Structures are given as C-alpha cells and as structure tokens.
Amino acid sequence: AYANNKQISEHDKESLFANLEGIISMHTNALSNLSESSTTSDLLFSIIPHLHLYPSYVANMSNAFATLSNLRERGVFIEVTQKDTLHAQTIEALLERPKQYLADYPTLISHLMERVDPSCEEHNRLEQALLAFDATQHQVEARDHLPKHLTHLWDIEQSFVQSENLRLGDNRELYQEGFATLVETNDGQRTNGERMRILIFRGLIILAALASEHSWTSIIKDSSENIVVHDVEKWDNCLEFVYQSKSYTLNFECK
C-alpha cells in the first residue's frame, strides 16, 4: 500500500523502507530453494551471507522514523494499522519487525540445537549458524548501548559496505553531511548524474558513491589537508573536489 502511494516520493520511500525489500527477497529466495532433503542448517546457511543487510537496515531506522514524522506533518501520509487477532500494528511497529526477528534467531537456533544429537553434523552446522547470527545481533545491540551522541556515527559506519570496515572512532566529530549529484568528473569509473554522499568530520572528509541500492563505498576518504576543494563558477551550488589527480564536481544540498 505504501509503495503504491503516489503522494510519497521515491526518496521518501527509500528513507522509510531502506533495504527492507532486499531482506524480504533474501528470505523468500532461501525458502524457495529448499528441497525435501534440506535441513534447518541449510536454510540458515543460505541466509548467513546476507546478514549484513540487517545492520544496514537498523542504521536507517532513525532516518525512517524522522521521514515518517515529516510525512505526517505534511499531511501526505495516510495512517494505516495492520490488525491481527491480538494487536493493532502501527507502521513504527512494522518497521521494527526485522530488528526483532533478528533478535529471535539465536534463541530459536539454541532451542533447535537442544533437540539434535551433539555428535551429528547438523548440530555442528547449527552451532556455526548460531555464531554468525549472534555476531550480527551483538553488532546491532552495540548501537543500543552507545551514548546517544555516538549512535549516528554507528549508523554511518553500518551504511558503508562491510569490506570497507569503516571505523570512525568515538571522538570523531561530524561537522556536515549531505547528498549530491555528480555533474563532472575525470574518473572513468564514475558516471555523471550519480548520487553521491558527502561526510565532513573533524580531520576527515568522505565522498562516497552507492555500491549497491543501500550501501555506500568511499571514493575519497582522507584528511582535509590532502583534498583540494574549489568553487565552480560555471554552475551554481557546485563544488569541485580534487584528490590524487581525480576531480569530482558536485551539485549538492547539505542537511
């Protein structure tokens, strides 16, 4: 219903649901690939490579709730609740569900292990799956235990591809962040019109491009001393970032 609501822009839909469709598709594909001979561990092992979707989703939740509040204030959001036999589910509760389901996995796997002979291979595979799900759950739980001023840094870290292993540190102060459109570059791997992300910290500037639908990868990540930034006279609201012989001219609005 929300996806087909023409009053909600594509940008707002992305802000609301982030990679939820990817999480749903991942589970749907895992179930559809099961056969009569498949075991529980087979199902879990097909999900494990995609567990990184959960921290990325959780990292967007504060943005989702802010977008939801904004839509309500603008009067373009039709309030809908999903009713079942016990509860009326608000949109906030529905958005929380993936996080809750992730939290349920370790307990479920532990209960399954209690019913399986410890000497068999299935028990060993379930134990491996438990470690993987536990690690992801602990990663998400870490956000809930952070001081409030650090949760946004966690969200930023989790929005980048796992292979980058972005670590900002507890003392990294964020000065400014925003999104931009790439209008000119000499980088052959980039395309004019791409959506870019700009993060300016104390002692660090990150210019990032989308690596997938909801994950970012750094194009520039260095101290301000190593990056040259110019105004661009021929276009309004544009800055040129020059780094290691590569230049990126961006039209952007900061939040």
Domain boundaries, the chain: 10-145, 164-254
Q: What does the pLDDT average to over 156-166? A: 91
| Residue 79: partners with Cβ closer than 8 Å, 6 or more residues away | 72, 91
Distance CA 168, CA 201 (A): 9
Is the pLDDT at 7 greater than 60? The verdict is yes
Averaged pLDDT score across all residues of the chain: 88
Residue 16 and residue 2 in contact, taking contact as beta carbons nearer than 8 Å: yes
What confidence score (pLDDT) does residue 248 get? 96
With a pLDDT cut of 70, the percent of the chain lying above it is: 91
- Let me know if 84 is exposed, middle or buried by CB neighbors in 10 A (0-12, 13-18, 19+): exposed
CB atoms within 10 A of CB 23: 22
Identify the top-confidence range among 42-51, 165-174, 204-213.
Answer: 42-51
Amino acid at site 77? F
Which has the minimum average pLDDT: 8-17, 123-132, 164-173?
8-17
Selected residue with higher pLDDT from 86 and 212: 212
Query: pLDDT of 239-251, one tens digit each?
Result: 999 999 999 999 9
What confidence score (pLDDT) does residue 225 get? 93
Q: Please tell me the class of the 10-145 domain.
A: mainly alpha
Question: pLDDT-based confidence at 187, cuts 50/70/90?
Answer: very high
DSSP for 69-131, written as a single string = HHHHHHT------EE-SS-EEPHHHHHHHHHHHHHHHHHHHHHHHHTS-TTSHHHHHHHHHHH
Distance CA 226, CA 106 (A): 45
Question: pLDDT-based confidence at 255, cuts 50/70/90?
Answer: very low
Fold observed for domain 164-254: PH-domain like (2.30.29)
What confidence score (pLDDT) does residue 170 get? 81
Distance CA 8, CA 72 (A): 11
**Residues facing 246 on adjacent strands:** 243
Is the pLDDT at 43 greater than 90? The verdict is yes
What confidence score (pLDDT) does residue 253 get? 62
Query: pLDDT of 79-108, one tens digit each?
Result: 554 555 555 567 888 889 999 999 999 999
Distances (CA, A) of 134 to 47, 106, 110, 140, 167: 13, 6, 11, 10, 21
